[in-house]
């Protein structure tokens, strides 16, 4: 079987793009605040007398700002190029995240900082990085996206112990500085050197002109498939994004000790990392909506099991792994669906708008889960609702039908 058929040649030429995207996504706006707030929230609450819900509300504020900033980043990338937007945003995101260390107890300033990292860091979202990967890969598009997006899973594995070490060694202010330095010192230099020719693969027939294949942004907005994906993404991201920041407290209410909780939650990032790779491999070989059906229904069952309470350690571990695995598939599934159903002509604009739908669920999920616990004293109601939402949304994606071909469009 030829190298071209296997897709190995794509990786031989495109590995710099994958590596740059891997670090850019993993140390960007999407995972950095999300995976660290669970450990930083108690520190801020003790320092300033805030409620945990008030601290977590920062994620919601960031989400609302992202709804405006993400489409803007997509527009700028389409207008001025993906590379300059990604590089500038990585620098600005790093500096704005470190600004949390300047907190003085004002909730207003705290929430404004969340707005700042959303606006300045929106170019570090998968909107930009997956554009480059999609342009360079065709035969192994799903696997390449999975590899690039494992950055979020890898950071999820190391985020909690690294943040805990920073807090113990330098306090919460030092933790924000140490976390903010990661994109500045690691992701930015690598992206500057390797994230090039991302508007089209000059090694493929048609080169950069290949990006013209696909629907225009206006045509996409008139396409029912776009709205099916958009409507499905909100409950999916809510159901998967809500439990993760609350997982420590969910396990605590189920009777687990602190040492057990730390061991269990570490598997969230590990399983997300696995989901990126396995999910990318699967959608290269099987129909993506069918893969999504299986992968999303399993954590739906997990949510129901967790809601029952008094789980064994093994059952809790299985449930967490299934949720984390599905979280790992989300981003590369979205990028893959955009490329296969709408093409690359308006990729950044389409992806950014769909990412807003994704952000709505992820941003409001943690707060809604927390509020549900505050009101009822348990997570039973919201976990049950999340499980049902996952199953229904997974079945809805089956309506997308077969992939489109844009070779002659």
Query: Taking the model in full, what pTM does it have?
Result: 0.73
- Label residue 384 exposed, middle or buried (CB < 10 Å: 0-12, 13-18, 19+): middle
Residue 203 has pLDDT above 60, yes or no: no
pLDDT for position 1: 43
Task: Tell me how far the alpha carbon of residue 165 is from its chain's centroid.
Answer: 24
| CA 326 – CA 328 distance, rounded (Å) | 5
**Among 323, 341, 187, 203, which residue's Cα sits nearest to residue 268?**
323
Query: Once rounded to an integer, what is the mean pLDDT over residues 223-233?
Result: 94
Residue 8 has pLDDT above 70, yes or no: no
Lowest model confidence (mean pLDDT) among 4-8, 100-104, 348-352, 393-397: 4-8
**What does the mean pLDDT of the chain come to?**
85
SS3 214: strand
pLDDT for position 3: 45
Percentage of residues in the chain having pLDDT higher than 90: 33
> 57: pLDDT confidence band, cut at 50, 70 and 90?
confident
pLDDT for position 98: 97
> 262: pLDDT confidence band, cut at 50, 70 and 90?
confident
Residue 87 has pLDDT above 60, yes or no: yes
pLDDT for position 113: 97
- Label residue 3 exposed, middle or buried (CB < 10 Å: 0-12, 13-18, 19+): exposed
| CA 332 – CA 146 distance, rounded (Å) | 6
Q: How many CA atoms lie within 13 A of 148 on its CB side?
A: 38
> 115: pLDDT confidence band, cut at 50, 70 and 90?
very high
Residue 395 has pLDDT above 90, yes or no: yes
| Bigger pLDDT: 311 vs 387 | 387
- Taking a C-beta distance cutoff of 8 angstroms, is the pair 279, 288 a contact? no
* Tens of pLDDT, residues 89-110: 999 999 999 999 999 999 999 9
| CA 299 – CA 311 distance, rounded (Å) | 15
Mutual angle of helices 141-182 and 313-342, in 10-degree steps: 110
CB atoms within 10 A of CB 315: 15
Helical (H) or strand (E) element with 185 = none
> 177: pLDDT confidence band, cut at 50, 70 and 90?
very high
Query: Once rounded to an integer, what is the mean pLDDT over residues 80-86?
Result: 91
| CA 37 – CA 278 distance, rounded (Å) | 28
Percentage of residues in the chain having pLDDT higher than 70: 93
> 210: pLDDT confidence band, cut at 50, 70 and 90?
very low
> 209: pLDDT confidence band, cut at 50, 70 and 90?
very low
| Bigger pLDDT: 278 vs 224 | 224
Query: Once rounded to an integer, what is the mean pLDDT over residues 112-116?
Result: 96
Query: Once rounded to an integer, what is the mean pLDDT over residues 284-288?
Result: 88
In the chain, where the domains are located: 13-194+211-400
Burial letters for 241-265: b for 16+ Cβ neighbours within 10 Å, e otherwise? bbbbbbbbbbbebbebeeebbeebb
> 208: pLDDT confidence band, cut at 50, 70 and 90?
very low
pLDDT for position 205: 45
- Taking a C-beta distance cutoff of 8 angstroms, is the pair 74, 198 a contact? no
| CA 116 – CA 267 distance, rounded (Å) | 31
SS3 343: strand
- Taking a C-beta distance cutoff of 8 angstroms, is the pair 10, 135 a contact? no
362: which 2 tokens?
């992820």
Task: Tell me how far the alpha carbon of residue 270 is from its chain's centroid.
Answer: 14
Residue 5 has pLDDT above 60, yes or no: no
Residue 407 has pLDDT above 80, yes or no: no
Q: What is the CATH number of domain 13-194+211-400?
A: 1.20.1250.20
Helix and strand element counts for the chain (H, E): 17, 0
* Tens of pLDDT, residues 336-370: 899 889 988 888 889 888 888 888 888 788 878 88
| CA 153 – CA 151 distance, rounded (Å) | 5
> 2: pLDDT confidence band, cut at 50, 70 and 90?
very low
- Taking a C-beta distance cutoff of 8 angstroms, is the pair 281, 144 a contact? no
380: which 2 tokens?
């039973």
Query: Once rounded to an integer, what is the mean pLDDT over residues 49-57?
Result: 83
Query: Once rounded to an integer, what is the mean pLDDT over residues 204-221?
Result: 68
* Tens of pLDDT, residues 126-171: 888 888 888 888 777 778 887 888 887 678 678 878 998 999 999 9
State in Å, rounded, how far the first CA of the chain is from the last one.
30
Residue 312 has pLDDT above 90, yes or no: no
């Amino acid at each position: 079987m030829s190298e071209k058929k296997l897709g190995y040649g794509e990786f031989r030429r495109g590995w710099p793009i994958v590596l740059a995207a891997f670090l850019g996504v993993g140390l960007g706006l999407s995972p950095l605040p999300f995976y660290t707030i669970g450990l930083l929230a108690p520190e801020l609450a003790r320092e300033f007398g805030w409620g945990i819900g008030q601290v977590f509300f920062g994620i919601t504020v960031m989400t609302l700002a992202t709804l405006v900033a993400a489409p803007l980043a997509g527009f700028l990338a389409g207008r001025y190029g993906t590379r300059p937007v990604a590089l500038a945003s990585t620098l600005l995101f790093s500096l704005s995240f470190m600004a949390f260390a300047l907190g003085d107890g004002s909730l207003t300033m705290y929430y404004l900082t969340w707005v700042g990292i959303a606006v300045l860091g929106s170019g570090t979202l998968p909107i930009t990085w997956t554009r480059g990967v999609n342009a360079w890969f065709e035969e192994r598009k799903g696997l390449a996206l999975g590899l690039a997006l494992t950055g979020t899973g890898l950071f999820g594995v190391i985020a909690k112990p690294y943040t805990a070490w920073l807090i113990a060694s330098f306090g919460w202010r030092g933790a924000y500085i140490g976390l903010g330095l990661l994109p500045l010192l690691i992701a930015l230099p690598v992206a500057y050197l390797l994230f090039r020719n991302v508007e089209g693969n000059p090694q493929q027939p048609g080169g950069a002109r290949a990006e013209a294949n696909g629907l225009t942004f206006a045509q996409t907005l008139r396409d029912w498939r776009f709205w099916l994906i958009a409507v499905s993404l909100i409950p999916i991201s809510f159901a998967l994004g809500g439990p993760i920041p609350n997982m420590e407290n969910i396990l605590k209410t189920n009777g687990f000790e602190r040492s057990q909780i730390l061991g269990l939650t570490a598997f969230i990032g590990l399983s997300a990392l696995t989901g990126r790779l396995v999910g990318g491999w699967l959608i290269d070989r099987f129909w993506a909506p069918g893969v999504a059906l299986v992968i999303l229904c399993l954590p739906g069952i997990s949510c129901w099991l967790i809601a029952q309470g008094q789980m064994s350690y093994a059952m809790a571990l299985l449930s967490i792994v299934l949720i984390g695995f599905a979280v790992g598939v989300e981003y590369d599934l979205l990028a893959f669906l955009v490329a296969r159903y709408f093409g690359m002509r308006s990729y950044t604009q389409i992806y950014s708008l769909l990412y807003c739908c994704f952000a709505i669920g992820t941003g409001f999920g943690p707060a809604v889960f927390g509020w549900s616990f505050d009101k009822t004293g348990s997570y039973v109601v919201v976990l049950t609702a999340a499980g049902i939402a996952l199953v229904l949304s997974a079945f809805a994606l089956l309506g997308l039908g077969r992939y489109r071909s844009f070779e002659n469009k």
